[in-house]
Amino acid sequence: MSLTVVGSIAYDAVRTPFGQRERMLGGAATHFALAASFFDAVRPVGPVGDDFDEASWAALRTRGTVTDDVEHVAGGKTFFWSGVYADNLNSRETLITDLNVFETFAPKLSPASQDCDVLFLANIQPDLQYAVRKQCGRARFVAMDSMDLWINIARDSLERTIREVDCLILNDEELEMLTGAPNSVLAAKELLGWGLTAVVAKQGKYGAGLFTREGYFALPAFPLEEVKDPTGAGDTFAGGFVGYVAAAGGEADHATLKQAMVYGTVLASFNVEEFGTERVLRLTPDEITERVTDLEAMVSIEDRPVALRG
């Protein structure tokens, strides 16, 4: 199978209660690719500037990721974001957003990227997502992310794009904002009616829920004693989730997607243990497998029925 991701490649400056980094590799396509590369060959598509250094190229190519469609814009600077997290890490304040080369990004997909079996549309302008989706007509499974900005200012374009994909990954508040539903259950029910195969509701430190026509499945976040930086956790989750689907041959039945949720949750748990991409770059398959086993044991419930009073 082949997997293409279209989105941002960036440098981030982050401060949390546990430390700070003045310049670290980030961006949705970066975090997604590093996680998904454990499962299949990944082709990221996104722009970088002259300041994108050799260490960053090497990190992006971890586990054989193909960077042929990462566009070097001569004379430009790479997308830069800076933010500060609150003490509880649940909220953050954006200090700087310099789009730089990302401001005029027009995805250019090689024939190899267009010919992907699985496609992930990271958070970019919905019309760009739609154009990429149309270029990748043979993809067996297409998932996408978005954000409240596009719900507010480009709703029609966003809805058109959502109707062209198989899986939508948003946080629970965004799902409710998009549909006007009072909760994520009703929001997901409406969105499945748009033709989606699956809806994933991200809930931050509380985990994530999966909705399909076959049912509902939820996982808590993996319990950790220390969380240093949540930057990129959602994209890392998506990389594990979509990467597992690619490794499963692009199948999107409920059972496969449940297992994909496990791997997405585990990959995200490693991401937040250190800053940016630091932990996932050092991660090994054995560590992932061990934590998957631990998570599955945590959520397994032995059936011990008792007599109920009537």
**Per-domain residue ranges of the chain:** 2-299
The pLDDT tens digits of the residues spanning 204-247 come to 889 999 999 999 999 999 999 999 999 999 999 999 999 999 99
At residue 272's C-alpha, the angle toward residues 267 and 273, to 5°, is: 100
Level-2 CATH architecture, domain 2-299: 3-Layer(aba) Sandwich (3.40)
Q: pTM for the complete prediction?
A: 0.96
The pLDDT tens digits of the residues spanning 17-65 come to 999 999 999 999 999 999 999 999 999 999 999 999 999 999 999 999 9
